[in-house]
Amino acid sequence: MFIIQSYGLAVVFCFITMLCWGSWGNTQKLAGKTWRYELFYWDYVIGMVLFAGLLGLTMGSFGSEGRPFVEDLGQANLTSALWVLLGGIIFNASNILLSASVSLAGLAVAFPLGCGLALVLGVINNYIEQPKGDTTLLALGVLSVVAAIVCNGLAASRVSKGGAQKGSSRKGILLAIVAGLLMSTFYRFVVKGMDLNNFEAPAEGMLTPYSAIFVFSLGVLLSNFVFNTYVMRRPFVGESVSYGDYFRGSLSTHLVGVLGGAIWCLGTAFSYIAAGEAGAAVSYALGQGAPMVAAFWGVFIWKEFKGADNKTSALLTLMFALFIIGLAVIVLAGN
């Protein structure tokens, strides 16, 4: 299987993770013009599972290093698999809430609040599990991201309108916060099932990045029958939707959701692959720079802050600057 051998390449993979995690939401925005996010989410999960299998059979099976994908799956013990499945279940609960937040508050609000909070808490959790990287620099990077989150929240509050729109925005912000709290915990369970110290000769029974992302995606799929079915029947906003509504969707609409899942899966797989060289805390933190990417899409492409005054624009500019500074410091922390 393909294994990273240098910290520099690990950082490149982490930045690809950041781009993927911050960009998949565009597919939800595209599908959302004619498609409820609860229905979109089924295609998203299907795309995740399919792409995880494809990665395992390609990058996870080529080369002479490590165990091939199928062999690695076959030798995994129950404990390792259950840790990774649990990570997938927790992630799915958080991501459904994040998707709901995007539909209510927009990309530029939901991702910086939800994923930014997940970054801060997740770095702490992952560093406790695998203390790799400079503690002081990691702390400074995280504080910079916290400041960016505050700027985003202030900017969002300045453009909130009254009435129903204000109520939806508040609900979206609350969902993003809950999503961030949950999302900050899933990664530590995944790495419990992986041997991060040696991908070339991993411990028996432990998973490698390629088998881990596949098992993880299965956890997402299985839990989706519970979580998303419930949300379909009791949505956060609007009327309930049914599985019949899902099967009445067009092929192009379904493919947009599948693409979204594939984009997310690519980013997550690269994060797992990079974790062996960069460490779980740094790998996770750089990937969770996704809020900056999502905010870029929301502000400049989807025009979610259109008509904002100068103070709001200044807050958004400061948010981007603080995110960039925070990410740069986090890179230095792991070098």
pLDDT digit string (tens) for 278-330?
A: 877 777 777 767 777 887 888 888 887 887 889 998 999 998 899 889 888 98
pLDDT-above-70 percentage for the chain: 96
Residue 133, pLDDT above cutoff 80: no
Residue 164, pLDDT above cutoff 50: no
Quote the mean pLDDT of the chain: 87
Comparing 330 with 88, which gets the higher pLDDT? 88
CB–CB of 299/26 below 8 Å?
Answer: no
Nearest-angstrom CA–CA distance, 145 and 292: 10
pLDDT-above-90 percentage for the chain: 47
- 308: three-class secondary structure by DSSP: coil
Q: Give residue 161's pLDDT.
A: 53
Residue 27, pLDDT above cutoff 80: yes
At 163, the pLDDT band (50, 70, 90 cuts) reads very low
Most trustworthy range by pLDDT among 47-56, 133-142, 302-311: 47-56
* Residue that has been written with the tokens 């299965």 in this structure: 218
Instruction: Please spell the DSSP secondary structure of 173-240, one letter per residue.
Output: HHHHHHHHHHHHHHHHHHHHTB-TT-SSSPPTTPBPHHHHHHHHHHHHHHHHHHHHHHHHHS-SSS--
Nearest-angstrom CA–CA distance, 335 and 332: 5
Angle formed by the axes of helices 78-105 and 163-192, nearest 10°: 160
At 335, the pLDDT band (50, 70, 90 cuts) reads low
Nearest-angstrom CA–CA distance, 261 and 259: 5
Domain ranges in the chain? 7-334
Contacts of 142 (CB under 8 A, 6+ apart): 119, 120, 123, 124, 285, 326, 330
The answer to which of 17-31, 160-174, 198-212, 243-257 has the lowest mean pLDDT is 160-174
Nearest-angstrom CA–CA distance, 96 and 227: 8
User: In 248-300, which ranges are continuous DSSP H helix?
Assistant: 251-278, 280-287, 290-296
Q: Give residue 160's pLDDT.
A: 59
With 0.85 as the threshold, say if the pTM is over it. no
Residue 221, pLDDT above cutoff 70: yes
Nearest-angstrom CA–CA distance, 33 and 49: 25
- The residue-averaged pLDDT of 27-32 equals 89
Most trustworthy range by pLDDT among 89-98, 183-192, 272-281, 302-311: 89-98
Q: Give residue 218's pLDDT.
A: 97
- 33: three-class secondary structure by DSSP: coil
At 81, the pLDDT band (50, 70, 90 cuts) reads very high
Q: Give residue 167's pLDDT.
A: 57
| Best CA proximity match to 319, nearest among 151, 128, 138, 173 | 151
Contacts of 186 (CB under 8 A, 6+ apart): 87, 88, 90, 91, 94
Q: What torsion, rounded to 10 degrees, do the Cα atoms 216, 219, 221, 224 define?
A: -130
Q: Give residue 166's pLDDT.
A: 57
Question: Which residues is 194 bridged to in the sheet?
Answer: 207
